[in-house]
A = this chain, B = another copy of it.
Amino acid sequence: MRQATHKLSIKTSTRGLKEITADVADWLSGQSMKTGLLTLFCRHTSASLLIQENADPNVRADLEAYFAHIAPEAPGRYAHEDEGPDDMPSHLRTALTQTHLSIPVISGKMALGTWQGIYLFEHRARPHTREIVLHLIGD
């Protein structure tokens, strides 16, 4: 049994879902781990992680519109507005989605379903560099 860790840096340009499945799979394939558990951890409170369908791009657009609707920018509604109107909604959208994901590794690959992709969900309007820590344990 052994472990490996890695820091993935992802540049985002604005709000929205950015697929990172290939970045994660690339690192994993270099680890020669046959069976194990892979954990992704997002080191931010205004960006989050999500596993969603990666076939029809409309799903991504609908998801983004939905979270904009359910946790809206609303100047004056939130006490925390230090960094602008997209500040507090970013924390809310993070709270409603995931900060970490754990995915079993079988036969050297993530056990994702046919239509599942891993997404970094950027909630801020301006560009950011996001750090995702990867942890792998297995053999």
Interface residues of A (CB under 8 A from B): 1-3, 5, 35-37, 39, 41-45, 50-53, 56, 58-59, 61-63, 66, 70-71, 78-80, 82, 88, 91-92, 94-104, 106, 111-116, 131, 133-135, 137-139
- Known interface pairs A3-B36, A138-B137; A61-B79 also in contact (CB < 8 Å): yes
Q: What residues on B are CB-neighbors of A52 within 8 Å?
A: 45, 91, 94-95
Partner of A102, one of B63, B70, B100, B113: B100
Smallest CB separation, A137 vs chain B (Å) = 6
Q: A41-B111, A63-B92, A100-B102 are in contact. List 16 more A-B contacts (CB 8 A).
A: A5-B35, A5-B104, A37-B135, A43-B113, A45-B51, A45-B53, A45-B113, A45-B116, A50-B95, A62-B78, A62-B80, A70-B70, A96-B97, A111-B133, A113-B131, A137-B138
